Amino acid sequence: MEQLTIHECHRRLTAKEISAVELTNAVWAQKEKTEPQIHAYLSDSYETALAAAEAVDADIARGEPISPLAGVPGAIKDNMCMAGQPVTAASRMLEHFVAPYDATVIAKLKASGLVSLGKLNMDEFAMGSSTENSAFGPTRNPWHTDHVPGGSSGGSAAAVAAGSALWTLGSDTGGSIRQPAAYCGVVGLKPTYGRVSRYGLLAFSSSLDQIGPLTRDVRDCALVMNAISGHDPKDSTSIPGEVPDYTRALVADVKGLKIGVPEEFFGAGISAPVKDAVQAALRFYEEQGATLVPVSLPRAKYAIAAYYIIAPAEASSNLARYDGVSYGMRAAADNLIAMYKKTRSEGFGAEVKRRIMLGTYVLSAGYYDAYYLKALKVRTLIKEDFTRAFAQVDVMITPTVPDTAFRFGEKIDNPLAMYMEDVCTVPVNLAGIPAISIPCGIAAGLPVGMQIIGPNLSEETLLRAAYTFETAHPEYTRMPSQEAMG
């Protein structure tokens, strides 16, 4: 059962071929089997999950209709609040903190019959590209446990790939859904900024963060998006208006679709196996009746530099709340200032400290105009590049990441090399537009990810393009072998 998709589970549940309790126990057993090697989870909620599954079974027994997600076991990245459950952001700072309320996405999922098996590992406060920055140990890639699963939603991607959750939620600030989705061979969607409420998400960079799904296939992605999308008055950046039924977009037809191919994403730094796989996918689309259009995003090369000024600046502001006073860790000290220093020194890891210091520096007197203000202007220019390109095309296709998953320890001591892992994904966050990563190949036993990018609120077009490719290439949606997971 751990290999089923959401839509397959829903069909079997409603046909009474399986029960939600049986399904929950089967996926839990897979979790217990794979966790010693993969370490995707930070906390468990088996009893809560079982009670939720029993409630779904009772609804089915009474003949009541259930939502597509009802009774299907998933799991949540550990930076989203779920009342009564730990929310640590993989940091010692919040090691013993229990969420007092539900994030909006959790409230929506509970209304859809949520069965959550627990909270998932991540880079501390979502700052990282490998899940090596978790204070509670790294998550491993189910395809090859010597390799990273990506980050910061590494636990979310690894759990889906390993079958220890049938779907998960992640968050994406500079690629943190799409990059681990690519490394672990699953589907990951970063929605349009504001399409999914951020209320109850522990903030990293408020103008960039967005919650989204990681799933086994594209249909599952659409189903989770249906459940979590929509306007929320508790989030001032939330987009008003009705949300479409994303499953209606799942048509294997791209005839007449104009696909932009940005030259900047296929040059130096992109490995040959990744480039070859994505170019083969582009040829497939052309054979299916789509038109390939060369486009240019000339300012995209400045995206990493701008991002690593804007995101740390916002992190510096957002993480100032973790001071040992209101909640979270408090270190013993003789006076208030010493307590602040000791709490933050002991509570935050090295990467979080690095980004807080960078952010504080670029916001400080004398440097604000030279760095932060200039980065905001560059962000505007990058958005203008996308706007011009989308005047010519419906979507753009690029590699999700420059290469397949790298080995543990390869880049952890080289922050710049680690930051460059997000070179294909960061421009999308700066522009606030949606993008999806889907598996498009295998290179040396590891998955290759393809990124499909669209203009604001074009999730339906992205899902149609992704579904068309996936339908013709079912071999890329398979799970890694049990042997690979140890």
Residue numbers annotated as active site: 77, 152, 176
Complete edge-to-edge strand list for the sheet that includes strand 291-295: 41-44, 115-120, 73-77, 167-171, 211-215, 187-190, 435-443, 446-453, 395-399, 258-262, 291-295
Q: Which two tokens stand for residue 208?
A: 């960039």
How far apart are alpha carbons 213 and 203 in whole angstroms? 18
DSSP H or E stretch at residue 170: strand 167-171
334 to each of 48, 68, 265, 320, how far by Cα in Å?
A: 42, 55, 54, 21
Q: Do 284 and 411 form a contact (C-beta atoms < 8 A)?
A: no
**Cα radius of gyration rounded to whole Å, the chain:** 21
Q: Which residues of 103-113 are buried (b: 16+ CB within 10 A; e: fewer)?
A: bbbbbbbeebb
User: d(Cα 49, Cα 24) in Å, to the nearest integer?
Assistant: 7
Cα distance between residue 138 and residue 149, in whole Å: 9
Q: How far apart are CA 276 and CA 389, in angstroms?
A: 23
